[in-house]
Structure 1
């Protein structure tokens, strides 16, 4: 009987690696998590990511704090939320003295490189070794061809020294010009419920899906490279889809379709395969996790995130109680500050200036990249559903509450429903605690003056060291 119990324990418990793992992070660019098939997407064909999901653990509740490129990447690389690292606007810079993955893992003996898109500054805070081979420009038309030579050289250069490599892809960021759009006939697409059904939306979504499949091909090449170099077994692979795509209601919002990110982890014999977890994790948790896996001890006084290594190993199904979101709209458009909180089941959003009209200049003004917004406006006159989506995007109430677990695209606002008053109060109180802890000044943060002051490294808010 004892031997049977021992065997049962051995087979149920993942092995723990004795050595520091290599770490390969693969980041997509502007890919809505729910458009991936292993998260319920009904269109995109992603055989390589589907295979990775089967070989590892899928995090069903992964989040980032700002659905914009610079802030979310700064959060990932520093383990700090936007107000703490200083990058609380798109195109902005981190505070002087901010440290990131190269510093912390470098101290633990790692070589740390970055291939592809950067979109982070200042350079002193992100001293990655530059690894050639992937385009840095996410709006180039077309994207430059990629070459795995630099990646191969980096990961094989020294077998005795562990590496951490971030490969930051530029797909499927708009403009959607890569891949074979003919594989996705517009009339056959099943549009997500938060998008207006117009011919232009379908054409754009077709090209976006083609870029997802193109990105999946790049993921496959990187995974095969690990196999060819015999590094697959001792490498933790992390894939993340980054923020939502450049459609109304996804990127640049605090709705789930903007902040929810795909996270898949594979590490043979350590991370359980074929597993899905509902543990709540946030980008700020990534660096503390890497530090722990590398043999260090992440200091809670330094980071806003904390290690979820126990979840990775299959030893826990719970990590954090809440994930936090914020949005400062300038310089992407006129000020429109937003704050939010989620617990995996529910999301509470607070629009700090609900009297204003929401405008995002890239989405609503650059017709060469995003011609579909005009088609939404044009058809809203005769189509009640499209009108509701347009109004939802442009005009938002002071408070929003969604039962995200049942309302995936958060189309039914329950904030005024007395049946859910207790849930709203609980989340609102938790959000208030976070805003106080982060020393968030609120509306004044989303102004041209605050943005310029931050660029000059003179924040108008006190900030937490």
Structure 2
């Protein structure tokens, strides 16, 4: 259509000119794109199960083959310093879904229960118009606090042998529905023990490079190969999920987040506050918002995810709703810092006798306080055998058997079971935490700073320390009669 028919500017053509000029100005200034970006994105969160972050190639892992995760990292932002408060399946998921630390949400032990009066992802995002679903492993209670729409298709049983083959239909249907945006969590069950999925022949034991916190025995190498095979099996499922998202036509309007959960079932990883336990992998892809192929040193924690999702959905949370805070500015490339500290908790009951631990890191220095270090540390699943022993790998027994002739094995056994009252590590130079700096003159200032901040945080959380890691406190939580913790303020 001519904008100036017969050489004259008509009313209709003038309107077109004004619209054209306005559109050109909006495009030039970015206002139009900002308005489009403000639409709440869909959210897809994919969780691994018991996967040590630095066994993945994007975190320096030298063994595992993970082409799909590496492609995801090339398309998004990788967090170098992401942590969870407690390196056990149920507490870390309760923290992720609620945005509350273990003492405040109530799930401070494995196989326990959160407080029935808290709210979590389904309530918070549901009020904003999201459909909130969960497929795969659940492992949070009570349902009143976590009322997800539960989807079939992914195995809910993390110890099944073998894992059920996934069916993508239910999650694809959930993502494909028209109308309201979706938030979908797919909680995979690999590489949780038993390590039976994937092709272990792709990881010959004699070619594996073991991390320095794992003793080198033939049985350890065989077990580690099976564990690596499960990581690759998990990676393939990530690829399938991303392909299905693409098939719905919604990939460009979806924030995808992947996390490895806590560390693997090896001594010093899961069930500990060491870096290989509470440090998690976190990758975020958000087309048009997150800069592809980037990394950040911003310090974040699982409790920060819910407030982040609230902000990107267009409704920043009110103060006091969450323990965490939004890192949306990091996702958008507007900030390269977030927290000053992240915090850690371990209560050993019912995984073994009481052995409470609390910790804190500023991203570089990691301070760990063993509140009952006079006790012998015991973790029953890793060190013991029950029934046919399928869930209890034999490698620990080989460490013990070889300890007379293998000084490294003895040293790692002692590190695991005989711990000092305080530990301090430089994660920059010593990511596997083999050199304890606590008590050294050079570390006095940072040790004092972190110790004081840990005291402050424990007090703010109503955390009594030793008295929390007891059978009495665990049983009370299961009855929704939590003995300790701050007042819960739901907004």
| Per-residue Cα deviation, 1:4-39 (whole angstroms, up to 9, x for no partner) | xxx9998xx999713100000000000000000011
Matched, 1:368 2:403: no
What are the within-5 Å matches in structure 2 for residues 244-393 of structure 1?
244-366=263-385, 367-369=389-391, 370-393=393-416
1: CA distance, partners of 2:246 / 2:468: 47
Does the 8 Å CA contact 1:187/1:202 hold for their aligned counterparts?
yes
Q: Does the CA-based 8 Å contact 2:106-2:485 persist in structure 1?
A: no
Between the aligned partners of 2:97 and 2:357, the Cα distance in structure 1 is 23
Tell whether the 8 Å contact from 2:53 to 2:263 is kept in structure 1 after alignment. yes
Structure whose CA Rg is larger: 2
1:409 counterpart (432, 436, 439): 432
Worse-matched range after superposition: 26-35 or 452-461: 452-461
Partner residue, 1:127: 147
- Contact kept, 8 Å, 2:49 with 2:262, in 1: the verdict is yes
Determine helix, strand or coil for the equivalent of 2:369.
strand
Q: Is the 8 A contact 1:16 1:269 kept in 2?
A: no
Give the distance between the partners of 2:88 and 2:119, measured in 1 at CA. Answer: 20
Deviation at 1:297, TM superposition (A): 1.9
Q: Paired residue for 2:243?
A: 224
Cα 1:9–1:319 shift into 2, 3 Å: farther
Distance in 1 separating the partners of 2:445 and 2:28: 43
Is 1:138–1:173's contact at 8 Å kept on the other side of the alignment?
A: yes
**Are 2:188 and 1:165 equivalent residues in the alignment?**
no
3-state SS in 2 of match to 1:265: strand
Give 4+ residue runs of structure 1 displaced > 3 Å after superposition.
Answer: 7-10, 13-16
Q: Does 1:418 align with 2:441?
A: yes
How far does residue 445 in structure 1 lie from its aligned partner after superposition? 0.4
Q: How far apart are residue 464 of structure 1 and its match?
A: 2.8
1:453 offset after TM fit, Å? 1.1
Q: How far apart in 2 are the matches of 1:211 and 1:8?
A: 49
The count of residues paired between Structure 1 and Structure 2 equals 456
8 Å Cα contact 2:79/2:297 also seen in 1: yes
Which structure 1 residue ranges, 5 or more long, are not aligned? 1-6
Residue 460 of structure 1 and its aligned partner are, at CA, apart by 2.0
Q: What CA distance in whole angstroms lies between the structure 2 residues aligned with 1:264 and 1:202?
A: 28
Q: Which runs of 5+ in 2 are unaligned?
A: 1-26
- Asked whether the equivalents of residues 461 and 485 of structure 2 are also in contact (C-alpha less than 8 Å), the reply is no
Q: TM-score, normalization: structure 2?
A: 0.91
Q: How far 1:209 sits from its partner (Å)?
A: 0.2
